[in-house]
Chains A and B, each alone.
Chain A
Amino acid sequence: ETGVTQSPTHLIKTRGQQVTLRCSSQSGHNTVSWYQQALGQGPQFIFQYYREEENGRGNFPPRFSGLQFPNYSSELNVNALELDDSALYLCASSSTGASDYGYTFGSGTRLTVV
């Protein structure tokens, strides 16, 4: 059984650019959640996708958007990058629409905005 995989592992972008991060969910999981972890902080919930629909969203602006594909993999898109978007972006998958049993996170994508 493969785990959650994320790509790329590291990324450097310039302020104002757009970025797409990718996540392949664990086999059998139909729900993907994205989190942003700034340095020295805990992860913050961005949004969740369940069966290709957004199923909950945290306090992030609309320039953070996502997609989920029929194979349950997912993308996180961030437009008009700001310096404060520099963070570790984490993806987690689960087999239900909730997270009662906790998540297994992928290895993350480290985004640096300069």
Chain B
Amino acid sequence: QKEVEQNSGPLSVPEGAIASLNCTYSDRGSQSFFWYRQYSGKSPELIMSIYSNGDKEDGRFTAQLNKASQYVSLLIRDSQPSDSATYLCAVKRGSARQLTFGSGTQLTVLP
């Protein structure tokens, strides 16, 4: 079992729709959770962080965390073609130095 699992996609949604990206993790000691966006050929860009159960909203993005189910999700409302990218989920155990990443979900927003 991978430590952080994401559906690889590709996930296609029409412009203006809600895109839902999911991530599960295996380490119950994980305390910090991150979503990164990576455009093709570019480095990952941090877009959301979440530390407590529940929802966290930032503009069109909402991160959701359920530690009991070991599940993190990212919702993108009013999806735009510019949101087309690979979305990486990352988790950090409290005592760890590093982030552990999933393999990413490729999102395509169709005009």
Chain A positions within 8 Å of B, measured between CB atoms, are 33, 40-45, 48, 55-56, 58, 88, 90, 97-108
Contact = CB atoms under 8 A, between A and B. Distances in A.
B97 interface: yes
Interface string B85-111: 000101010001111111110000000
Interface of B: 4, 32, 34, 42-46, 49, 88, 90, 92, 96-104
Nearest to B42: A107
Given A42-B90, A99-B92, A58 B98 contact: yes
Contacts of A44: 101
B97 to A, nearest CB: 3
Contacts of A40: 103-104
Q: Which 9 A-B pairs have the closest CB atoms?
A: A42-B101, A56-B97, A45-B98, A105-B43, A108-B43, A102-B46, A102-B34, A48-B97, A43-B101
In this complex, which of A55, A97, A98 has the most chain B Cβ atoms within 10 angstroms of its Cβ?
A98
B43 A99 contact: no
Q: Chain A at the B interface: mostly helix, strand, loop or mixed? A: loop
B102 A42 contact: yes
Contact of A99 (B4, B44, B99, B103): B99
Contacts of A103: 46, 99
B41 to A, nearest CB: 8
A48 B49 contact: no
Nearest to B33: A102
A104 B46 contact: yes
A102 B103 CA distance: 17
Contacts of B99: 43, 45, 99, 102-103
A48 B92 CA distance: 14
Contacts of A33: 97-98
Nearest to A107: B43
Contacts of A101: 32, 49
